[in-house]
Structure 1
Amino acid sequence: MQALYHHFANRTRFGGTDIDDVYVPVNYNDTHWIAMWISIPKRHIVVWDSICSSISLEELNVVMEPFLYMVPYLLVECASSDEQRVQYSLEPFTYERLTNIPPARAGDCGVYSLKYIECHAIWIEFSKKDVAKPNGKTMRDKMAVHIFQKLPDAHEFENKDNDANLVAYEG
């Protein structure tokens, strides 16, 4: 019970909403997706990278630096009161890259990033069976259908690319 109280006692409030965790999918160099879990009470970021060889430790440090410094700054600047503002520090967050997660094949890293976020957010263990390499296409298909179903009126999308004016660019 003490751990449960501690968890809820450290909640962060933004706009009347309690927030402890923030999940962020991050694209690296337009070639690779990683997922991040930002724990506000712990001042720590966990990186889930399904293909660790895609980003060296040095490159990951460069990717992470803005998050490590900007998240504390945003917490201070977005605090709703002076009392809340003083509880935050501008000290940078820490981070770690987990290495004990199921690996993905090239092209599946985006789906895996979303799956890591989903599983962690609803407190489900990452199952190597559920996210096994052969299941990548099935996961992509199911996720695409799920996202499509959640988008209101997605099937009524109208192309607004101004196609009528494309002739001006033709040779």
Structure 2
Amino acid sequence: MFEFTIGFENHYNGIAPDCTVTNKKWVQDADTLYITHNICNSHWVAVEVNLLKKRVKVYDSIYSAFEENDVKESVKPDMKLISLLLGHLAPKEEKQKMGGCAYNFYLIKGVPHNDQSGDCGVYSLKCIECLALGRCLTSIDDTNVGDIRLKYAAEMMDEVDLSDFLQPTIPKTSPYPRGTSDDAPQGLETDSLDSL
């Protein structure tokens, strides 16, 4: 028996995370989820979950990295969790239909292939962006992945409040924490043996 915390309920209801509140409930308002998924701590893929059709599509930019069955096994826990969450939070009339059912799995071939090592995360993000916007996936390849990486980095920096990092800071402790009292400027405390 899995007990869902309020965080799961907030995601289901579209009120989490705080930075992207949509107030759109799963199934009722949003029928597709996009997830970046990591396989064995070594490879990122894009996952599209259709909640109404109970369908999972995995878009893998390096389809030779893992066997299809390994990819399927790696996403199974996520699919089980989503199914349980839907069964737990769906309206009464929808509960039986939504929860506990198995999802159909598809490994999508024909995704732009990533030959360079270390770019699968960028490929998975760009794939999700294209899918969400209804665009074809041909706009990414190894020749432009560096530019896409820089674009994502710039967009993330635009979202971050850098004011805390740009203000000069005054040290609150001695810059000579292990020095002697002779080394330290007057008025600063040190933890030298002389002060013991």
Q: How far did 1:69 drift? A: 2.3
Hey, what's the Cα distance between the residues in 1 that align with 2:13 and 2:75? 23
The within-5 A match list for 1:43-58 is 43-58=54-69
**Aligned-partner residue type, residue 151 of structure 2:** K
Residue 146, structure 1, aligned to residue 179, structure 2: no
**Aligned-partner residue type, residue 136 of structure 1:** V
CA contact (8 A) 1:14 1:78 kept: no
TM-score (norm 1): 0.75
* Between 130-139 and 35-44, the greater mean CA deviation after superposition: 130-139
**Aligned-partner residue type, residue 100 of structure 1:** G
Residue 75, structure 1, aligned to residue 83, structure 2: no
Hey, what's the Cα distance between the residues in 1 that align with 2:76 and 2:50? 16
**Structure 1 residues not aligned, in runs of 5+:** 1-12, 159-163
CA contact (8 A) 2:72 2:105 kept: no
Q: How far did 1:86 drift? A: 3.4
Report the structure, 1 or 2, having the larger strand content: 1
1:93 to 72, 89, 103: 103
* Between 57-66 and 98-107, the greater mean CA deviation after superposition: 57-66
Q: Which residue pairs with 2:120 in the alignment?
A: 109
CA RMSD of aligned residues (A): 2.2
Q: How far did 1:70 drift? A: 2.3
The within-5 A match list for 1:8-87 is 14=13, 17=24, 18-79=29-90, 81-87=91-97
Q: How far did 1:51 drift? A: 0.4
Q: Which residue pairs with 2:169 in the alignment?
A: none
Larger radius of gyration: 2
Hey, what's the Cα distance between the residues in 1 that align with 2:75 and 2:120? 18
Q: Deviations over 1:92-132 (max 9, x none)?
A: 111111111101121110000000000110111112xx212
Q: CA 1:154–1:77 in 2, change beyond 3 Å: closer, same or farther?
A: farther
TM-score (norm 2): 0.66
Report the structure, 1 or 2, having the larger helix content: 1
Length, aligned pairs only: 144
Q: CA 1:155–1:29 in 2, change beyond 3 Å: closer, same or farther?
A: farther
**Structure 2 residues not aligned, in runs of 5+:** 1-11, 15-22, 167-172, 178-196
What percentage of residue pairs aligned between the two structures are identical? Answer: 27
Hey, what's the Cα distance between the residues in 2 that align with 1:117 and 1:47? 11
